[in-house]
Amino acid sequence: RVGTEETHTMAPAAMSFVRLHALRRPLGFALLGLCGLGQKPFLSAAGGALPLDELSALHQKFGGDASVWANQPMPQRARSGGTISALSVQIPALERLAPYLRPGASVFDLGFGSGVMTAMLLAAAPSSGVRVIGVDLEDKVKVATENMLKTSGPFRFQREQFEFLGGDAFHYLQRWKDEGKTVDVV
């Protein structure tokens, strides 16, 4: 898909601290695997291709479905339950967010669940300094952290790349606003 990306407006009361950068350059992201053309690459923000089969394998390591064709949300291991979004939902989300994953970007993952979207965001990001902070229910912090740290193969994540917080997201958003903290991607 080729187009021009614009800044999105967020609800001012909860998200006024969020700073999204507008891109005024053409984007060249493709998700050809969903178009019936086989295992074509998804293009990352770093400009390198991430093969759909590698993203599928990463998704499976977190307990998700293995194929964009399966379209099956899978149960999470956390006590509070929930599901891991289907790969067919997460790949298009990555396609949309990848242009914002520039070196040094900070990402806010609301409802990180198993941590799979955090992992996929980091996998699609350039190697230099993208950091993800997520907020979800308290019991998901341990599960997601374990999932992130047990990855292997081409995707190994370090604790410095992400932070998972349990509790009320609005509490954190207000605190960050009061502290003058911002994030680049939500």
Question: Counting every residue, how long is the chain?
Answer: 186
How high is the pLDDT of residue 25? 31
Tell me which long-range contacts 168-175 makes (C-beta under 8 A, separation of at least 24): 168/135, 169/110, 169/135, 170/14, 172/135, 173/14, 173/15, 173/17
pTM over 0.75: no
| Residue from 175, 30, 27 nearest 102 by CA | 27
How high is the pLDDT of residue 45? 58
Mean pLDDT of the chain: 74
Q: Which amino acid is at 85?
A: S
pLDDT band at 50 (very low <50, low <70, confident <90, very high): low
Q: With a cut of 90, say whether residue 161 has pLDDT above it.
A: yes
Model pLDDT for residues 100-145, shown as the tens digit of each residue: 888 999 999 999 999 999 999 998 887 678 999 999 999 999 999 9
Range with the lowest mean pLDDT among 77-86, 88-97, 173-182?
Answer: 77-86
Model pLDDT for residues 24-44, shown as the tens digit of each residue: 233 233 332 333 333 455 555
